[in-house]
Amino acid sequence: MIVVFYDSICFLDLACSFFLCINIFMENPSVIIVMGVSGSGKSFIGKMLAEKWGAVFEDADDFHPPSNIEKMKNHCPLTDEDRLPWLSDLRKRIIAYRKSGIRYVLACSALKESYRSILRGDDDNEIVFVFLHGDKELIRKRMEEREHFMPPALLDSQLATLEVPEYAIQVDIDKNPQEIVDYILDSIEKRNLNAFV
């Protein structure tokens, strides 16, 4: 009788620790991927977010092979083939940061679900996706006003490729940057993934 009782306590203990662990993982992601089409503000918002969250920031643009950059400069959209090795390299970086325990914010277009799945790997509970979206003309205007290799002419193909991640924290980019960053951090804290519109 005593043995059965002791066994049940152990089982409960184990079950509690297991759920507690899951909960901790869910509430403490160590990686944020800021995604969206070119010009949506991934780099700008990602940097501010990393600073406030105490994380390292990296821009996926910095890891494109020169051939990809050349293509985009020449108004030629990337294909899956162009993107896959780049995404695999980014996944390796995510794994390295996960292992180091250092918080990591990656700005990466991650337009299709299949791309996000490569980035995510089996880290479902550790990675939060933030999707920056907004009015096409506002994005185009911001692209025209900045110095960048990516021509505004590629915005249409970026939007055509985009598959919206319903599970992401979705933020409309017409908001002020500080407000956007605060909303993202607040959503992560509360695990409230509703759209900020």
Ligand X SMILES: O=C(O)[C@H](O)[C@@H](O)[C@H](O)[C@H](O)COP(=O)(O)O
Ligand Y SMILES: Nc1ncnc2c1ncn2[C@@H]1O[C@H](COP(=O)(O)OP(=O)(O)O)[C@@H](O)[C@H]1O
Q: Kindly state the smallest distance separating residue 46's Cβ from ligand Y, in Å.
A: 7
Site string for ligand Y, 19-48 (x = CB under 6 A): -----------------x-xxxxxxxx---
116 is an interface residue for ligand Y by CB under 6 A: no
Q: Kindly state the smallest distance separating residue 104's Cβ from ligand Y, in Å.
A: 17
Task: Read off the tokens for 152.
Answer: 């505004």
CB atoms within 10 A of CB 164: 12
173 binding partner (options ligand Y, ligand X, none; Cβ < 5 to 8 Å by kind):
ligand Y
158 is an interface residue for ligand Y by CB under 6 A: no
Q: Which residues here bind ligand X, judged by CB under 6 A? A: 38-39, 42-43, 61, 64, 72, 78, 83, 109, 111, 148, 150, 158
As a whole number of angstroms, the distance between CA 34 and CA 56 comes to 13
Residue 172 CA neighbour count, 13 Å, CB half: 9
3-state secondary structure 6-34: HHHHHHHHHHHHHHHHHHHHHHCCCEEEE
- What is the DSSP-derived secondary structure letter of residue 60? G
68 is an interface residue for ligand Y by CB under 6 A: no
